[in-house]
Amino acid sequence: MAIEDIFIALEEQGEQESREAIEAAREQARGIKEDAEEMGKSICANKMEVARASATLRSSRAVNSARLEGRRAVAGVKERAIVAAFDEALGLLGSVRESKDYPGLFRALALEAVAGLEGEVTLLVDPADEGLASEFLKSSGLTGSVDASTSTRGGLTVIAHDGSMFRRNTLEDRLAKFRVHGQSEIAEVLSA
């Protein structure tokens, strides 16, 4: 029986070693599973963070694009308002000539245009201002002529130094000069 006991003991030892190997394998499998679950959670968290960052970036871009488009739309409205205001002012210039103050305005524009000039000049005016230009030329002490062949809403152009110098001082020119300088101020008023 001693051999039988040895076989039984060997069998029990084999079963014990088998159980221990299986238990060690199970423990190793649990460790591998836990590591895999941790890695899966980490990968998932990273993917979620990347997705969140991407969504935030797309959202920011969409908001910025919408803001830019809104600013462009507002700027377009402001620009159209400025253009309309100057177009309306240009239209109103046509009635300035009918004002009782127009002869004084014409004289002031003419004085400004001939300031510092000597010699012969030509006053280029609208036919409606020919009389005012002739009166001014006589009273100014300058020599020259009046050419009533241009079309303006008021004011004049002075030609001097045998045609080498032009001084435009029409109402349209004054409005154009103001437009260049006044647009930024008007835009500021519209922004307030």
Q: How confident is the model at residue 84 (pLDDT cuts 50, 70, 90)?
A: confident
Does position 167 have pLDDT exceeding 80, yes or no? yes
For position 45, what pLDDT does the model report? 82
The DSSP call for residue 122 is: E
pLDDT tens-digit series, residues 2-23: 777 776 777 778 788 778 878 8
Q: Which residues of 40-49 are buried (b: 16+ CB within 10 A; e: fewer)?
A: eeeeeeeeee
Contact assessment for residue 109 and residue 168, using Cβ atoms and an 8 Å cutoff:
no
- pLDDT at residue 155, rounded to an integer: 93
Task: Give the domain 99-191 fold.
Answer: hypothetical protein PF0899 fold (3.30.2320)
Q: Which two tokens stand for residue 116?
A: 């510092």
Q: Which of 45-54, 68-77, 80-89, 174-183 has the lowest mean pLDDT?
A: 80-89
pTM for this one? 0.57
| Domain-wise residue ranges, the chain | 1-93, 99-191
- Residue ranges in the chain assigned as alpha helix (H): 2-93, 102-114, 130-140, 171-191
